[in-house]
Structure 1
Amino acid sequence: MSEWLALAIAMSAACVVVIAVVVLRQRRVAADDDPSETPDVIEYITMMIGVVYAIVLGLAIAGVWEARSSAQDDTLREAQALHEVSARAEVFPADYRDQVRKDVDAYVSYVVNTEWDYMRTHGEISPEGTALLAKVRTDVAERAPQNDLEAQAYQPMMDRISTADEARNARGQNVGPTMPGVVWFGLIVGAVVTVGMVFALQIRRSMRELVLAGTFSALIGFLLFLIWDFDDPFGRGISVTTQPFTDLFPTIGS
């Protein structure tokens, strides 16, 4: 089952549950019940709960979106740094240049074709990927520059490899869910309380009120799904992709 189908089912279920509760509750209300007699304090409390929960939802969405954006930036930084290493190797002799580019391509190919799935399965970056990047570092570090042109390219290449290594470690730290469990507890309890307060307002079975109650509950379900999907930058539907690598290394992508 796809995540979007699961979302549609969850939102529909939330609507059905809320509407069913309203209908069943209305059948048990006395004929002389007057909803206008709802105390003003209940309306005020309901409004405040909605405002507070909206702030919490907004902060949660901003937090997971920032984590996803950071993971995307780290991926782009890693790919760009490796692309610079391949480009700067142009000034070296053909055999050495080809070896550096071959090892860079091997690392990128492994990341694109193997490590991305490994991260989703194991929740961490793979030791083999770390070893492949270390091989690139060794290639560059062990050969002393032979002339001024190579000397000018040597240190920038080492800096770019350090940048790629740093971005790779940051990518590893962003693997897996980023939202603490206690926050999820607060979000779910808050959703139950917020939707539950709808019934304190003594809404009737009119079509307008039922539609509003169902739409409100579906919106809460959608926002919780959005937070859950963004919570794992590399493992869910709206996840960080390998596009920066495939854009800068088109032969690997093909």
Structure 2
Amino acid sequence: MSQWVVLLIAMVAVCAVVVTVVVLRQRRIAEDDDPTETPDVIEYMVMMIGVIYAIVLGLAIAGVWEGRGAAQADVLAEAQALHEVKARVQVYPVQVRDKVRADVDAYAAFVADKEWSTMRDHGELSPRGAQLLDQLRADVTQFDPKSDLAAQAYQPVVDEVAAADAARAERGQSAGATMPGVVWFGLITGALVTVGLIFTLQIRRSAKELLLAGLFSALIAFLLFLIWDLDAPFGSGLAVSADVFRQLL
């Protein structure tokens, strides 16, 4: 049984229980009962639904913002590791040093100019980027240091290439959208219910009430758009920038 079917059954069951209890309780109310002595249920429910939906929106925004921050940290870690590779091969022989730095430049240029658009459009990394990084790793690991300085720098350079590879893998996991479909279902349904409940109140056509209703609806739409935009860290709008890779060139 899929989670959507379970969710639908749970929602229908809860609604049925609540309606049944209310109907049974209504039949037992005495004729002399005065409903004016109890608070307005509609206003109470509107307030509670608004509070609950505000909490859900806040958690969703916090989640996608944290995901964007993690993606930004992965990009910085990858770029920093590549920068360390270029800096530490300074003690290598000229031919090897230039070859390793050329590999780093080729990889950084491809990531900034090509792979970024692949992540934005398809939500995944490009196989060509993995090939370029493998070429860098091969040139680094196959070098046989002869001098003491080169021998001391060899293992740190290998470690930095491994760190760049690990950061690249983390970047790949953040390339696509992370918000599950069931969460989007809840956000959109909650927005429709929250905005729709405005019409259950005694709203009139005064300019002030219409303005507040319009601003409230616009705010809900803006927050949903913000969640959608932040849900793709390498998309458009508030996306993570590739400038740190261009700075390596």
Q: Please report the TM-score for the alignment, with normalisation by the length of structure 1.
A: 0.81
In structure 2, the residue matched to 1:88 is 88
1:152 to 2:157 alignment = no
Equivalence map 1:31-70=2 (5 Å):
40-70=40-70
Based on CA coordinates, which of the two structures has the bigger radius of gyration?
A: 2
> Unpaired segments of 5 or more residues in structure 2?
1-38
Measure the CA separation in 2 of the matches of 1:123 and 1:46: 39
Measure the CA separation in 1 of the matches of 2:218 and 2:177: 24
Equivalence map 1:115-134=2 (5 Å):
115-134=115-134
Measure the CA separation in 2 of the matches of 1:160 and 1:149: 17
Deviation, structure 1 residue 236: 2.5
In structure 1, the residue matched to 2:34 is none
Deviation, structure 1 residue 148: 1.9
Q: Which amino acid aligns with 2:215?
A: T
Percent of aligned positions that are identical: 64
In structure 2, the residue matched to 1:241 is 241
Deviation, structure 1 residue 235: 1.7
Alignment length, in residue pairs?
213
In structure 1, the residue matched to 2:220 is 220
In structure 2, the residue matched to 1:12 is none
Measure the CA separation in 2 of the matches of 1:132 and 1:40: 67
Equivalence map 1:110-189=2 (5 Å):
110-189=110-189
Measure the CA separation in 2 of the matches of 1:48 and 1:243: 45
Deviation, structure 1 residue 202: 1.4
Say whether the 8 Å CA contact 1:230–1:236 is kept in structure 2: no
Deviation, structure 1 residue 244: 1.4
Deviation, structure 1 residue 240: 0.9
> Unpaired segments of 5 or more residues in structure 1?
1-38
Say whether the 8 Å CA contact 2:79–2:244 is kept in structure 1: yes
Q: Please report the TM-score for the alignment, with normalisation by the length of structure 2.
A: 0.83
Q: Which amino acid aligns with 2:108?
A: V
Measure the CA separation in 1 of the matches of 2:163 and 2:207: 59
RMSD between superposed Cα atoms in Å: 1.5
Measure the CA separation in 1 of the matches of 2:203 and 2:146: 83
Deviation, structure 1 residue 233: 0.8
Q: Which has the higher contact order (CA 8 A, sep 6+)?
A: 1
Give a deviation string over 1:144-199, Cα, whole Å, max 9, x none: 22122112111111111111001101111111211000000000000011111111
Deviation, structure 1 residue 120: 2.0
Q: Which amino acid aligns with 1:54?
A: A
Q: Look up the SS of the partner of 1:198 in the other structure.
A: helix
Q: Which amino acid aligns with 1:223?
A: L
Q: Which amino acid aligns with 2:64?
A: V
Measure the CA separation in 2 of the matches of 1:189 and 1:138: 52
Q: Look up the SS of the partner of 2:239 in the other structure.
A: coil
